[in-house]
Structure 1
Amino acid sequence: MSRRRRLTLVALGTVVALVLGVAVWILIAKDYAFHEERVTIPGPRGELHGVLAIPSDDGPHGLVVFVHDDGPADADDDGHYRPLWDAFAQAGFASLSWDKPGVADAPGDWLDQTMHDRATEVDSVIAWAHTRDDIDTTQVGAWGIGQAGWVLPEVAQARPDLRFMIAVDPAIDWLRREQYAARAEAVADGDSPEDVAAAVDRRARRTALIRRNADYRAYLDSHVDEDPMPAARWAFVKRNANSDSTAALKTIPVPTLLLLGGRDRGVDVAETERVYRRQVQPDLLTVKDFPDGTHRLTRNDIEYRGGDIRTLGRSILAPKTIYVPHYLDTLRVFAKRQTE
């Protein structure tokens, strides 16, 4: 065999090995221990369109109810929840999430909700879970991110059957969070100190408008935002701007796992940790910091590079790998401990 032919065969073998390796990696990264069922749930303002992710083994199973962050999220959050559902399935828990009102043909409008409305919605979902024979309603927990920080404490107080809650980068005070985000985003964008100060000043002036209950015309006339939010968003912000979870955290009666991403640009996680440690009963609180985690607890090179084709491909082909190391294991271990 000629040297050229040998080199060609070696190169071909290398390519085949790489392709097979990638294929196996993708199969493992998308191998889930649950199956999905579309469900319709009676809600306080109309039906909710949900997805119940049920472990593949025999039940009944415990249940983790998912509470979305801000924005128009569908039931699986564009696929981002599936790795989390898999982690809970490995711990013996089903997961339940639903389209926000007005998203993916669901009735209603999520911008017409208060945080209390959202807590009432979660209450209805847990009540519905009691009608399912495949759910062990003595083992019901809740997972939530960001804006869920104003929802979960109310749910924990209202539902005596809630066994635990998991809060991912929850905010404390709505308007302080807005101020923090303005600075963090400007700094992350590499703005000059003068531009950072200008961004913070614009957000402060917007906060002042909200505090005095300015109408939408006054907001537009102020020119505090170069790209003004729609009228419905302005109404939503004003409706919820007084949200502050500080007092409610003192009354949380269940084991609580607080997960914090050190590179979060939207929530001041240092403030969140400080307030949770001060307010929540120490014997009920577990805190886990992920210094390199983003708001979603993805790797820092994933969440903030959404337009990158490599990032998009990884999110689609290997969604488990987008999260910061040990996050999914932390969910699994904590949920499993609640059953012991």
Structure 2
Amino acid sequence: MSWKRRTLIAVSCVVALVLSAGGWVIVQHDFDIRAERVTVTGGAQPLQGTLALPERGDGPFGLVVFVHGDGAATADRDEFYRPIWETFARAGYASLAWDKPGVNGAPGNWLDQSMPDRAAETEAAIAWARGRPDIDAGRIGLWGISQAGWVLPQVAVRHPELRFMIAVGTAVNWIRQGEYNLRAELRERHASDDEIAAELRRRENDLSLLRAGASYDRYLAATADSPPMSADRWRFVGKNFRSDATETLAQLRVPTLLLLGEHDLNVDVAETARVYRESIPASLLTIRTFPDASHNIVTFDLDKPDSLRSFLVALFAPRSLYAPGYLDALREYAAQPPNH
């Protein structure tokens, strides 16, 4: 066989492999949903949202309203939510989420919001959705992650008619959560005792400034943070660092599913589980903990954004990012009859 022919065969094989891989990626990112961009009105400002309807059927469908965690977030959290939306669609539910204010061209600035502001925003989204003919107003639930733990209970207490509340990796007390997160991340990178002590002193200094209502200039002059928080972030933390969900959870009468990752570096899941059990009637509460799962209920080894393996799994098998059983747990819970 001539070298030209061998080269042609090799190139053809590479091209076929690339085309095959490209086709696989397209299939894996083709979720069984109809995603529609919407403008949610009725709140402090319009919200740029995505309504993900089941691929088939005219409805009316149940609805899961999504509440983001901390940070700038697009409606689908950079596609991270899409496998979850597909999961709820298979249970007969649409999903609604929105770009945080100031993100992706949305009006406003999410760092101007308090947790009550975020709860009011969520209530406005529920009211807006109830006006749509393709949404069943009697089958609306909540899904929220992390910082949403200070938002979901406020909404659910004011709306006991909600079908369910699904809380993922939620904390109870802002200050305790921050210390737990700091200690856990330091342990994860095997920090020395001296380094841990120094970081705790730095943190306590910032808390003293927050408790004193210090201005941003005073914070900059006194902090050891490297880099320091932005002015917007400092104001945001100042509005919210006293957040605690304990009293609100004690008033909750909505069926609740609490989902926790055993290897959560952000939230003390043992404390969260204990407080939820002490606060919510056992008949309304289901708790499930996933072994070797992260804060996001992603397999811990894959919850590393700079990892090539994580990137490849997200590209070629995005549903496989999540801990085994997580998506099934969501679908099965949503599909149960009311008052489960």
Note whether the superposition's TM-score is higher than 0.5: yes
Q: Alignment RMSD, CA only?
A: 2.4
1:49 corresponding residue in structure 2:
48
8 Å CA contact 1:164, 1:338 repeated in 2: no
The aligned amino acid for 2:38 is V
- Distance across 2 between alignment mates of 1:338 and 1:264: 31
2:221 partner SS: helix
Residue 19 of structure 1, CA deviation: 7.6
- Distance across 2 between alignment mates of 1:100 and 1:43: 16
1:76 corresponding residue in structure 2:
76
8 Å CA contact 2:42, 2:128 repeated in 1: no
Does the alignment pair 1:140 with 2:144? no
Residue 200 of structure 1, CA deviation: 2.1
Residue 28 of structure 1, CA deviation: 5.7
Cα deviation per residue 1:77-107 (whole Å; 9 max; x = unaligned)? 0010001001100101000000000000100
8 Å CA contact 1:297, 1:324 repeated in 2: yes
Cα deviation per residue 1:121-172 (whole Å; 9 max; x = unaligned)? 0100000011111111111000000110000011001224311000001111
Instruction: Please list, as runs of the form range in 1=range in 2, the aligned pairs for 1:53-68 lying within 5 A after superposition.
Output: 53-58=52-57, 59-68=59-68
- Distance across 1 between alignment mates of 2:130 and 2:52: 16
1:5 corresponding residue in structure 2:
none
Instruction: Label 1:43 to 1:73 Cα distance change in 2 as closer, same or farther (>3 A).
Output: farther
8 Å CA contact 1:137, 1:161 repeated in 2: no
1:126 corresponding residue in structure 2:
126
1:238 partner SS: helix
1:246 corresponding residue in structure 2:
246
- After superposing on structure 2, the runs of 4+ consecutive aligned residues of structure 1 that deviate more than 4 Å are 14-28
Instruction: Label 1:142 to 1:223 Cα distance change in 2 as closer, same or farther (>3 A).
Output: same
8 Å CA contact 1:55, 1:94 repeated in 2: yes
Does the alignment pair 1:331 with 2:330? yes
Quote the sequence identity (%).
49
Does the alignment pair 1:194 with 2:194? yes
The aligned amino acid for 1:330 is A
Give 5+ residue unaligned stretches, structure 2.
Answer: 2-8
- Alignment TM-score, normalising by the size of structure 2: 0.91
1:210 corresponding residue in structure 2:
210
Cα deviation per residue 1:39-61 (whole Å; 9 max; x = unaligned)? 00114221100000000121111
Does the alignment pair 1:38 with 2:4? no
8 Å CA contact 2:24, 2:316 repeated in 1: no
Does the alignment pair 1:310 with 2:333? no
8 Å CA contact 2:205, 2:223 repeated in 1: no
The aligned amino acid for 1:105 is G
The aligned amino acid for 1:273 is A
Residue 27 of structure 1, CA deviation: 5.7
Residue 316 of structure 1, CA deviation: 3.0
Moved more, 176-185 or 114-123: 176-185
Cα deviation per residue 1:272-295 (whole Å; 9 max; x = unaligned)? 111111111111000000121111
- Alignment TM-score, normalising by the size of structure 1: 0.91
Give 5+ residue unaligned stretches, structure 1.
Answer: 2-8
- Distance across 2 between alignment mates of 1:278 and 1:224: 38
Does the alignment pair 1:114 with 2:123? no
Aligned residues: 334
- Distance across 2 between alignment mates of 1:159 and 1:290: 29
Cα deviation per residue 1:191-224 (whole Å; 9 max; x = unaligned)? 1222122222221221222122222122112233
Cα deviation per residue 1:201-258 (whole Å; 9 max; x = unaligned)? 2212212221222221221122331210001100000101111000000111111000
